[in-house]
Amino acid sequence: MKEKKQSPASKSKALIRRILVPVDFSEHSKDALQYAVDLGSVFDAELILVFVVESAGYPADLGYGQAAIPAMERDLSERGKAELARIAEQYIGGKLAVKFHVPAGRPFVEIIRAAREFEADMIIIATHGHTGVEHILFGSTAEKVVRKAPCPVLVVR
């Protein structure tokens, strides 16, 4: 009895079922989304688009730290979901299954949390290429994700 040969993609198909793509609506993140669509099409993977609303705050009285502004976060979250839907239609168009996730918090923390929550098999993230003082002051979300992610990360420059 002859064994049926499988293509490399069909052998590893189960390895990339869900690809998480952080999106900040910059051209860089749209480039990363295009990579995710292309790779996702090979594996028939589901894409999880994540937009993180960075918590807004103002100095509270009596030294209790910053207090969030919930109405602003809700508005940004709703606008983020609408924009994710728009770019999903533009870049994915129904070729792949897609989910949207719009948490509030620190981007690298929420991206890693989403990767665990959605059991992502891969993260495809853009880097903005900050260098020098800017990198020292702000760090790199992509770099922090690479260091702490529970799955492989493809960084698109």
pLDDT at 54: 86
Find how far residue 133's CA is from the centre of its chain. Answer: 25
- Round to whole Å and give the CA distance between 42 and 146: 23
Mind listing the pLDDT tens digit for each residue in 25-66? 999 999 999 999 999 999 999 999 999 998 765 555 455 555
pLDDT at 132: 58
**Gyration radius from the chain CA atoms:** 18
Mind listing the pLDDT tens digit for each residue in 67-94? 556 778 888 899 999 999 999 999 999 9
3-state secondary structure of 4: coil
The residues, any chain, with a CB within 8 Å of residue 40's CB and separated by 6 or more, are 16, 19, 46, 47, 96
Q: 29 and 55 in contact (C-beta within 8 Å)? A: no
**DSSP secondary structure code for residue 25 in this structure:** S
User: Structure pTM?
Assistant: 0.80
- Round to whole Å and give the CA distance between 145 and 151: 10
